[in-house]
């Protein structure tokens, strides 16, 4: 395990061996009922630059978008149990994201919606294409940390990191292969109210459009 940023990021390379990571990628790509999320931003229709789906016991508020979770599958509950053992906490929510290729990504943000509590522990598993993961101090422009997340890697964010820093998965046009990321979280308190309406379209991988 590699501790980074005062032990508020813990990176475990090869938490899953390559063969197991490849099996998990295939299962996650094919079996997940993905959503392509459409919403309006200042009157303009937008689509999230990735496919996403939520699992577990709690809804998650993602920049005002609220998603109803699906029940744990045996596979995802198994991965949750492994993540819980590593992160030494219990998780009741999971966001699964598919970055179809390097044109997909996630912009600068902190995982600090009210439901995650004061100092959230978030465990992230990566499968498929290697992608960059950047971290910057809030209020600053440039990353202070840049990592490559490989298939099978486990990254845990903890302590007050979500208060002090933001993270991002930048677009990488040269990447052609898909990447699946799982983030396990612990949510509590009242269910979030949607601030932004979305129309989500059920989609399956491989995309046929
Ligand atoms: O894909 C990743 O590695 C990060 C995803 C993320 O930051 C999120 O889902 O909040
Ligand atoms: Fe995040």
pLDDT per position as a tens digit, 54-103: 999 988 777 777 888 999 999 999 999 999 999 999 999 999 999 999 99
Predicted local distance difference test score (pLDDT) of residue 197: 74
Residue labelled with tokens 């202070």: 144
Predicted local distance difference test score (pLDDT) of residue 190: 74
Compute, in angstroms, the gap from residue 106 CA to the centroid of ligand 1: 7
pLDDT digits (tens, 9 = 90+) for 148-181: 999 999 999 999 999 999 999 999 999 999 999 9
Assess whether the C-beta atom of 106 lies below 6 angstroms from ligand 1. yes
Closest among 20, 14, 19 to 1, alpha carbons compared: 14
Q: Which of 167, 171, 179 to mutate to test the pocket of ligand 1 (most atoms within 8 A of CB)?
A: 167
Span 184-203, mean pLDDT? 82
List the single range of 18-32, 79-93, 165-179, 185-199 with lowest mean pLDDT. Answer: 185-199
Domains and CATH numbers, the chain: 2-202 (2.60.120.590)
Assess whether the C-beta atom of 181 lies below 6 angstroms from ligand 1. yes
CB 109 within 8 A of CB 64: no
Sequence-distant (≥ 6) Cβ neighbours of residue 78 within 8 angstroms: none
């Amino acid at each position: 395990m590699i501790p980074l940023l005062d032990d508020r990021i813990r990176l475990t390379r090869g938490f899953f061996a390559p063969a197991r990571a490849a099996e998990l990628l295939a299962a996650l790509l094919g079996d997940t009922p993905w959503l392509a999320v459409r919403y309006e931003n200042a009157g303009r229709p937008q689509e999230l630059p990735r496919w996403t789906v939520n699992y577990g016991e709690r809804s998650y508020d993602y920049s005002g978008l609220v998603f109803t979770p699906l029940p744990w599958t045996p596979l995802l509950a198994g991965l949750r149990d492994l993540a819980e053992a590593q992160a030494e906490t219990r998780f009741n929510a999971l966001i699964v994201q598919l970055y179809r290729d390097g044109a997909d990504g996630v912009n600068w943000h902190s995982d600090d919606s009210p439901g995650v509590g004061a100092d959230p522990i978030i465990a992230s598993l990566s499968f498929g294409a290697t992608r960059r993961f950047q971290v910057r101090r809030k209020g600053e422009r440039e990353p202070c940390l840049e990592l490559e997340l490989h298939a099978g890697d486990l990254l845990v964010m903890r302590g007050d990191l979500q208060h002090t820093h933001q993270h991002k998965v930048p677009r990488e046009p040269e990447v052609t292969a898909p990447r699946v990321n799982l983030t396990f979280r612990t949510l509590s308190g009242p269910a979030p109210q949607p601030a932004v309406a979305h129309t989500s379209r059920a989609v399956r991988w491989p995309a046929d459009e």
